[in-house]
Structure 1
Amino acid sequence: MAVKLTERAAEEVKRFRQENNFDEATSLRIGVAGGGCSGFNYTLGFDDKYDEKADSKYDCHGVEVIVDKKSALYLDGTTVDWYSSLEKQGFTFENPNAVKSCGCGSSFQA
């Protein structure tokens, strides 16, 4: 299984990439870092580097997503969506590997 972006999240990534003049070849890198109130934080960023041995690459609605293989262990099956309302907006993570999440949804425990 892989990390997936919803169509809405992919459109937001494309919009952001265009507004900030990122090259079309620049990929979205999704990962996990230690920290946060639940143990791990989700990380999102743009990257033009891909290491075939250390990374996995996925295409999600026209957005190339890179996940390092260590993070992939925690993110397998995760769906990234874009949420927008009057009080907040941002990416959300639906992670089947998380046994506990913090209230803000940006960190989890596996």
Structure 2
Amino acid sequence: MALPAAKPPDGATLFKQQCAVCHTTSLSEPMRQGPPLVKVVGRPAGKIDGFRYSDSLARAEFAWDEARLDAWLTNPQAVIPGVVMAYRQAKPETRAAIITYLKELN
């Protein structure tokens, strides 16, 4: 008997489980340890009003895109040395699901 196909990871659920402790998806909610991630795709890194970024992230000179977010979720310190985000996600399918969810928030 064949096993049913695995259900792909749901980005919204993964975000709630792994990211929502530190990040919101709304500008109206109080800021948490990390900045709000609504409309993060295309947004300049380290540049949202009202959030105090680490010096290294505040000096970043790029906008978030899928490739940058994927690298960031894999290893934030490899993207910008000196950042304080400790989260890392080794599974490409989990990163892809979270990034797809973030794109839907744009």
More strand by share: 1
For normalisation by structure 1, the TM-score amounts to 0.23
More helix by share: 2
